[in-house]
């Protein structure tokens, strides 16, 4: 079992931005897909959620949070889970694909 005793406790200051969020008080089902939602229904719901995000004064903080903790579900900061994963995947691939210096061979 994981030992969580070393982790810091919750810090309300880190979440204050949520108090100013445009989505505060909006039904969360707009931002999180129901089981099995696909196609046009999902695209439409996500577009509506993104409209809320686009007028949000704390959109940048929300997006940064979602990327930092790798939120697995929902629209956060105007990005769907697929968009966040694509962005994170690209960043990770850039780091992995950086060519390493070739080791110099010893000269005798």
CB 66 within 8 A of CB 18: no
Chain-centre distance of CA 97, in angstroms? Answer: 23
Question: Is the CB of residue 75 less than 8 Å from the CB of residue 46?
Answer: yes
Contact 38, 49 (CB under 8 A): no
Q: Is 53 annotated as a binding residue?
A: yes
The answer to whether the annotation marks 56 as part of a ligand binding site is yes
Is residue 23 marked as binding?
A: yes
Q: How many CB atoms lie within 10 A of CB 50?
A: 17
62 annotated ligand-binding residue: yes
Which residues contribute to the annotated binding site for [4Fe-4S] cluster? 23, 53, 56, 62
Which residues contribute to the annotated binding site? 23, 53, 56, 62
């Amino acid at each position: 079992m994981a030992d969580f005793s070393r982790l810091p406790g919750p810090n309300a200051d880190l979440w204050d931005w949520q108090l100013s969020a445009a989505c505060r008080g909006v039904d969360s089902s707009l931002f999180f897909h129901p089981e099995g939602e696909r196609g046009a229904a999902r695209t439409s719901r996500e577009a509506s959620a993104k409209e809320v995000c686009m007028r949000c004064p704390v959109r940048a903080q929300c997006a940064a949070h979602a990327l930092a903790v790798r939120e697995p579900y929902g629209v956060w900061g105007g990005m769907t889970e697929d968009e966040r994963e694509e962005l994170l995947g690209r960043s990770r691939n850039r780091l992995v694909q950086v060519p390493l210096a070739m080791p110099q061979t010893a000269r005798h």
